[in-house]
Amino acid sequence: MKKYVIALSLLLGVLNSAMAAGNPKAPFGGEFKINLGQAPTTLNALSSTDAYASEVQSMVLEGLLVRNVDTREWEPGLAKEWTISKDGKVFEFTLRDGVKWHDGKPLTAEDVKFSFDAIMDPKDKYHTAQKKSYYENIKSVEVIAPNKVRFTVGTPYFDNFSVAATITVVPMHLYKDPSKDQEKVLNKTLVGTGPYILKEFDRAKKIVLEANPNWWGRSAPNMKGIYNFKTITMRFIQDSSISIRSIENGDIDYLGLSADEYVQKAVGPKWGKSVIKVKTENKQASGYAFVGFNLTNPIFKSVKTREAIVNLFDRKKMIEKLLFNFSVPATGPTYVQSDYADQTVQPIPFDPKAALKKLTEDGWKDTDGDKILDKMIDGKKVKLSFTILEPSADFVKYLTTFQEDAKKAGVDVQVKVVEWNAFIKLLDERKFEAVRLSWSGGDLDWDPKQIWHTDSIANSGSNFVSYSNKKVDKLIDESRVIMDKKTRITKLREVYRTIAADVPYIFLFNNKFKFYANTSRIAKEKDTYTYSIGSDYWWLSK
């Protein structure tokens, strides 16, 4: 599932929940300090939507199985055994013995069943709209023994086993009460079965996790050499210069870097000595940044107008001047390096003359001499003026360039920086004209339903721009029942082309590389694994 994130540099595979055989001789202990970048809006494992919460939850909560970080093969998690019926419609998982929640209560099969039932609750009591599309093809989850559950498929879906295997299991005894009072408690607490226990959540400063002394994984063969820190401290430093200074001073040990931070800020006498910067590549799914249009706003009803606005966004210059050619222009609704991205789709070019021509053809003109285009919509004169909500002050420099170019063409663009929690609230309530945001990478096998299907608009779903295209809905629905990946790729590339042509977003940038920095006291076997940077295999060397 994709999650909201402010900027792609902040989350690049840190604390990834996929497992692999780490260094079995890695020492255990010490404090690992990272910059999470932003306090999660909520820690509630059912209703949270941002990637910051996911990073915390991945250390505290667990799924039934995990993927090997180098091979992507399934390995035991909370379930020690599993079976798949010959027809692929029934999955049975046998839970480990003796696993306990952090509050001491035993994990049971009822917890697994509840976790599914809560997601699919027809009244959406637990606010799980962003998860429903993945689980809607599972007909039921049954408890067939105190330690055994059966998932039964209702509708074929290429990813049914994966969503069953990776369901985040939450404690029924804490989550079953959907009242507002309990919701407030769950917003700031987190109880799981995983390797770390939430010890502190100070929304203004940090989250502190401490190693779970009773974690089952300490004796599991496939967990050797993983989660080697006694304490993990996650700070919320949003200012780029302060975060760079923090890692230079040793106040944090890990920092995801943007391209400009890697080139311009990660320099000086400490770099290469007490602080190491890394540029690497792996096969992990990548996210992308975008500006999303609220398609219920009359200004953005016309595809031609939206395309003209994209013609005013000079991505090529931004990539050269601000991203040092370490990115490429995004062309559509998943990262351009994906198997599902149609390589024939070209980025809409920066072309102010073409933009003005399209706007004129679409009825926009300056009728009152104020240098802002306008036209009559539904009997009212409407100016081509809108505000982009921006959650990160560091990204404003990109939007300022756009703002200046748009002004020359008679398009009035305002930029408003909004605090993260308030930003998410406005997003959920659809109270915006345009928003700048990023999607996290999600899974390698793309399923567009969460973001692009009409069904994902309601109940604060992830389709917050209210994009709706019956052809796309049909193609997405058809693709989900195609088990053969090559055939599914053909179908989803058509989805990619169609969405790109509809221009619901200004698709901004796709990173070529992953950048990060770590202090010299961090030891690791390699800079990245095949499908993740793999910082959960690191340890302290001193």
Q: Which amino acid is at 287?
A: G
Q: What is the mean pLDDT of residues 166-170?
A: 98
In this predicted structure, the answer to whether residue 8 has a pLDDT above a threshold of 60 is: no
With cut-offs at 50, 70 and 90, classify the pLDDT of residue 17.
Answer: very low
Q: What is the mean pLDDT of residues 480-492?
A: 97
Q: How many CA atoms lie within 13 A of 150 on its CB side?
A: 10
According to DSSP, the β-strands at 514-519 and 509-511 are: unpaired
The pLDDT value recorded for residue 449 is 97
Which residue has 């637990």 as its token pair? 126
**Separation between Cα atoms, residue 467 and residue 476, nearest integer Å:** 14
Dihedral angle over CA of 468, 469, 475, 480, nearest 10: 0
Q: Average pLDDT of the chain? A: 95
In this predicted structure, the answer to whether residue 15 has a pLDDT above a threshold of 70 is: no
Q: What is the mean pLDDT of residues 5-24?
A: 54
Q: What is the mean pLDDT of residues 29-52?
A: 95
Q: Which tens digits make up the pLDDT trace of 496-515?
A: 999 999 999 999 999 999 99
In this predicted structure, the answer to whether residue 168 has a pLDDT above a threshold of 80 is: yes
Which residue has 């540099």 as its token pair? 9
Contact call for residues 291 and 312 (beta carbons, < 8 A)? no
CATH topology of domain 4-281+513-540: D-Maltodextrin-Binding Protein; domain 2 (3.40.190)
The pLDDT value recorded for residue 1 is 77
Q: Which tens digits make up the pLDDT trace of 49-59?
A: 999 999 999 99
The pLDDT value recorded for residue 517 is 98
Contact call for residues 292 and 438 (beta carbons, < 8 A)? no
Q: What is the mean pLDDT of residues 25-44?
A: 96
Percent of the chain with pLDDT over 70: 97
The pLDDT value recorded for residue 271 is 98
pTM for this model (two decimals): 0.94
Q: Which tens digits make up the pLDDT trace of 346-375?
A: 999 999 999 999 999 999 999 999 999 999
Percent of the chain with pLDDT over 90: 93
The pLDDT value recorded for residue 5 is 72
Helix (H, G, I), strand (E, B) or coil at 256: strand
Contact call for residues 348 and 311 (beta carbons, < 8 A)? yes
Q: Which tens digits make up the pLDDT trace of 102-132?
A: 999 999 999 999 999 999 999 999 999 999 9
In this predicted structure, the answer to whether residue 2 has a pLDDT above a threshold of 80 is: no
With cut-offs at 50, 70 and 90, classify the pLDDT of residue 163.
Answer: very high
Q: Which tens digits make up the pLDDT trace of 294-342?
A: 999 999 999 999 999 999 999 999 999 999 999 999 999 999 999 999 9
CATH topology of domain 288-511: Dipeptide-binding Protein; domain 3 (3.10.105)
Question: What is the domain partition of the chain in residue ranges?
Answer: 4-281+513-540, 288-511
Longest dimension (CA), the chain: 75
In this predicted structure, the answer to whether residue 92 has a pLDDT above a threshold of 70 is: yes
Which H, E and C letters describe 479-495, residue by residue?
Answer: HCCCCCHHHHHHHHHHH
Which residue has 């060397």 as its token pair? 541
Q: Which amino acid is at 375?
A: K
- The total number of residues shown for the chain amounts to 542
The pLDDT value recorded for residue 22 is 80
With cut-offs at 50, 70 and 90, classify the pLDDT of residue 21.
Answer: low
With cut-offs at 50, 70 and 90, classify the pLDDT of residue 3.
Answer: confident
Q: Which residues contact 505 (CB under 8 A, 6 or more apart)?
A: 290, 291, 292, 293, 333, 465
The pLDDT value recorded for residue 7 is 56
Q: Which amino acid is at 510?
A: N
In this predicted structure, the answer to whether residue 158 has a pLDDT above a threshold of 50 is: yes
Alpha-carbon distance values, 11 to 52, 256, 332, 403, 429 (Å): 8, 6, 21, 27, 26
